[in-house]
Amino acid sequence: MRQLADLVVHRDNGRLARTIVNRLWAKLFGRGLVEQLDNMDTEPWHQNLLDYLASDLSDRGYDLKRTLALMATSRVYQLPCVEPQGSASGEYFVFRGPLIKRLTAEEFVDAVFALTSTWPDADPAWMKPDGRAQGGQLGAIAEVLAAGSGAKPANDRQPLSEAKWIWSRAEARESAPPQTIYLRRIWRLGEQPRRAVATFTADNSFELFINGKPAMKSDNWGAPTQADLAELLVAGDNMIAVKATNGGDSPNPAGAIGDIVAFGGEHEPQAILSTDAAWRVSEREETGWVEAKFDDSSWKPAAALGDWSVGPWNIARLVAQGGVVAQWAAKLPAGFRIRAALLPLDGLQSALGRPNREQVVSQRDTAATMLQALELTNGSALGQLIQRGAVCWEKRALEPPRLVDEIYRTALSRAPSDAERQLALGALGNPVTSEGIEDLLWMICMLPEFQLVP
């Protein structure tokens, strides 16, 4: 893999560097040096410029910030903006200046957040730190910021650190026959958790059930599986059941280990359930064994084989190497503005053209669709943001002329013209009402100047 990576970034290759600078140029100038962006075999409209930027990026160690600064501070970027030209062909394209382009869905929503002072609060469901799901990167950002500030949450703990490897036989750490065992434990919770991070693994495979419902499974013991299972848990008694299988054709080491940490609304751990000798185990599957009402009085206590550091598994080493994420949920700094790109995909952003995180999209449509036009004029999500924003502006109790000036400066970074000021004052009403402020905010959001990037 290292050799492949070295070949990809080698200066004599150049394709990666050209692809990167082409997309950065398209982002800033509205059109790539090569069009379409996904077809780098197309003739660029300025080969020397593409080669220069690509070589500079490679020579500077792929410093993307520097390349962006080089483009943004250039004289060509400071040229007056122009309307998009009809032809996208490199053969006929003539550069006359950066193209006017529409805000992306995320940029538009951010602009509305800023105008209406409606930046969202962090939902605990967004704070999972794996960063893989839509919106999941917010928790990872919180962790990085907390680590950078030197702050560590009080509820910091490593997953599996209090758990024991367990099996149906005491000698299983050295040798156990190929078999499937069944584990059960009742877990009482005072209330349903807002978040419940489960971390489990078994040599060779396992299936986890919560209150009779399948929750997670894996056949790779060297990569403990994690998931938020809060929606399966209830206030009161919860039945946690594990079906663990030791594979192979002859006796070999076998074990299962796991824990579940339940978090409250303030990201504080409410309860922790870990595998230990208190679990009940059977080597025989019985009907209804995953249900809470099942009678397991004939089952025996599980055999504890050792803590998370024992061999042959040494899960503690995997955790220390970052193979398993920490189970605490870092808090964002006070006043942190959560950008739309860090939020899960919603109806407003979907209508405005934001793709799913799982989709790779290099370009988006620049022309507004009928759906987008309807969402911008009649959408309930946008209407709710503007309604809340009107309340925020009303609470500032500014004199009408100053209120108009502040709204214009916030939205457009300029003062209104005399004609715009008179029109805005008329919309506000006399006296100023929240409904009047709403009307003015709607007017501002519909302006091409608000929705286009010059």
409 and 316 co-located in one domain: no
Same domain, 217 and 81: no
Residue 142 has pLDDT above 90, yes or no: no
Q: Is residue 150 part of a domain?
A: no
Domain boundary among 49, 70, 99: 99
Give per-residue pLDDT as tens, 77-121. 999 988 876 554 445 788 889 988 888 899 999 999 999 999 998
**Judgement on whether residues 426 and 453 belong to the same structural domain of the protein:** yes
Note whether 243 and 363 are same-domain residues: no
318: tokens are 């995997």
* 249 part of a folded domain: yes
108 & 233 share domain: no
Does residue 281 lie in a domain region?
yes
Is 19 inside a domain boundary?
yes
Same domain, 261 and 395: no
Mean predicted confidence (pLDDT) in 320-332: 63
Same domain, 174 and 244: yes
Residues 50 and 116 in one domain: no
List, for residues 9-37, the tens digit of each pLDDT value: 777 777 889 999 999 999 899 889 998 88
For the chain, what is the domain count? 3
Query: Domain holding 191: CATH number?
Result: 2.60.120.260
Across residues 306-332, what is the average pLDDT?
Answer: 77
**What pLDDT was estimated at residue 154?**
45
Residues 313 and 370 in one domain: no
* Structural domain contains residue 143: no
Residues 314 and 259 in one domain: yes
Range of the domain at 303: 164-320
Q: Are residues 170 and 37 in the same domain?
A: no
168 and 316 fall within a common domain:
yes
127 within domain boundaries: no
* Residue 332 confidence (pLDDT): 78
In a domain, 37, yes or no: yes
Within a domain: residue 368? yes
Q: How far is 48 from 315, CA to CA, in rounded Å?
A: 53
